[in-house]
Amino acid sequence: MRAAALMLLGLSAALPARADSNPMQPGTWELTRSGGMAANLIGRFCITAADIADSMSPVNGFLSREEKGGCAGWKIEWHGERAQYSGSCQLGGKPAQVSGRIVAAAGTYSDTQNVKKDGDTATSPILDIINGLRLGPCAN
């Protein structure tokens, strides 16, 4: 019995703990914003492994690090290729509730965000949707 318990403990220590995290791969990504009548290009960015791992990075809820710095209770929870995020933020000098969902894979990214600013009666019916496509490795 004791030998079995020691073997089980040894096996569990040998297996790495894996928490769900953003599955995007580092590289050059092209991001576009849609919502309303047309999509527009945000830009092409070199997204690093550090960006992907950082909960304050725009690829973990599409707000800048500075905007997230004004959020209380910012959290993002990944479950496989899907995440939910939320926080009580200051956007444009007004308190706002931000929430959204992300679907990401090695080469694709989609973030649908809802923002409800103080004084608004409901969340805007036009969602802010950010889509991304990995184009390849970052240029040196």
User: What tens digit of pLDDT does each residue of 50-70 get?
Assistant: 999 999 999 999 899 999 988
What is the residue range of 46's domain? 18-136
How much is the pLDDT for 9?
Answer: 40
Half-sphere exposure of 21 (CA within 13 A, CB side): 13
Going by pLDDT thresholds of 50, 70 and 90, the confidence category of residue 31 is very high
In angstroms, the first-to-last Cα distance of the chain is 57
pLDDT for residue 123 is more than 60: no
Arithmetic mean of pLDDT over the chain: 83
Q: What pLDDT shows up at residue 91?
A: 86
Q: What are phi and psi of 38, to 5 degrees?
A: -150, 160
- Is 87 domain-assigned? yes
Establish if 11 belongs to a structural domain: no
Residue 13 lies in a domain: no
Q: Is there a domain that residue 2 lies in?
A: no
The pLDDT value recorded for residue 45 is 95
127 vs 54 pLDDT, higher one: 54
Residue 6 domain-assigned?
A: no
pLDDT of 121 reads: 66
Answer for the pair 98, 113: CB distance below 8 angstroms, yes or no. Answer: yes
User: Domain count of the chain?
Assistant: 1
DSSP annotation of 60 reads G
Distance between CA 114 and CA 128 in Å, rounded?
A: 7
Residue 19, pLDDT above cutoff 70: no
User: Lowest-confidence range among 34-38, 60-64, 69-73, 108-112?
Assistant: 34-38
Answer whether residue 67 is part of any domain: yes
Contacts of 22 (CB under 8 A, 6+ apart): 52, 53, 59, 60, 78, 83, 102, 104
Give all strands (DSSP E) within 36-71, no chain letters. 40-47
Once rounded to an integer, what is the mean pLDDT over residues 18-43? 84
Q: Is residue 39 part of a domain?
A: yes
CB-based burial of residue 108 (10 Å sphere; 0-12 exposed, 13-18 middle, 19+ buried)? middle
- 34 within some domain: yes
